[in-house]
Structure 1
Amino acid sequence: MPKDYFNDPIEKETGQSFKASPQALMFERLVSELQATLEEEVFFDDSDWPHGFDWSNEADAVWEGLAEDATLLAKFRTRNPADQVLCRAAGLIYRAICAGSPIELEAVCRQFAEIMKLPVPAHAHFLLEEAQNCLQQMGDRAETDDHKRSGADQGPALEA
């Protein structure tokens, strides 16, 4: 059986333990790996690797793997309403990973906020909150990167 990444924090937060479904376990793993990837991107860049190593290609491969995991879960069929919500959320995570602009990512975050309003058990809501935090972090980084690029494209400042 796969590792249960969040059961201890969920039990502490909600006061409940639960028997995780395959979809919940897959979603836990997806969110855990998303969190780890976001943390690694904060701490690593090209200067942390030997000369000639292309960190961006490595990071792209990790994000592609996460997108593949998200799309697999999004296509998973279940009759359990809470698991259906998690699968739908995985589809939005896929869209967020593949977003080509901060505007697209913001639209995904708005849709995710709508999912957060759906009635789900406490453990599923906890997982959705963790995923929403990751999406918010992705959005913040996308805006920062967009501002850096737009500032770099303006060229040198003209003196009056």
Structure 2
Amino acid sequence: MPKDYFNDPIERATGESFATSPHSLMFERLVSNLQSTLDEEVFFDDSDWPEGFDWRSEAEAVWAGLAEDATLLATFRTCRPDDRLLCRAAGVIHRAIRAGSPAELEAARIKLAKIMQKPAEPRIHFMLEEAGLSLEQMADRAEVEGQEPPEADLGLTPEA
């Protein structure tokens, strides 16, 4: 059986446990992988890799895989309203990953906030909130990267 990433935190937060659907398991895994990627990417820079290794293409491949996972979940059909919310949220996550500008990323965050306003079980809101925190972290990082001087893209330190 696949690992149930959020059931323990949800049970602690809401006081209830639940039987997982394939959609919720996929969404849990998507958000968990998104969070892990965001956390790990903070620690990557050119000094972490052997000379000549293009770590940026490796990171881009991970993001592309996350976007594919989000697309897969977004296209699943379901009759359960809670699962439909998760599928819609996965589409928003895909949109955020593929955002080409801070404005597109902000539009995705707004769309997720609207999805979060829909009535759903507490466990669904918990998972959506986790996704929202990840999109917020993505937006913060995009804002910081947009404010860095051009030499930061070359891996140069301010002293150089």
- 2:137 maps to 137
- Tell me the secondary structure at the aligned position of residue 148 of structure 2: helix
Listed as ranges, the matches of 1:9-158 within 5 Å are: 9-149=9-149
Superposition deviation, residue 45 in structure 1: 1.6
Q: Which runs of 4+ in 1 moved over 3 A?
A: 149-152
In the TM superposition, residue 147 of structure 1 has moved relative to its aligned partner by 1.5
RMSD: 1.3
> What residue in structure 2 maps to residue 5 of structure 1?
5
Cα shift readout 1:38-73 (whole Å, capped 9, x = no counterpart): 000111122111111111000000000000000000
Name the SS of the counterpart of 1:142 in structure 2: helix
**Could you list the runs of 5+ residues in structure 1 that have no partner in the other structure?**
153-160
Distance 2:119 2:11 in 1: 19
Amino acid at match of 1:78: T
Using structure 1 for the length normalisation, give the TM-score: 0.92
Q: Secondary structure at the match of 1:109?
A: helix
Q: Percent identity?
A: 66
Q: How many residues align?
A: 152
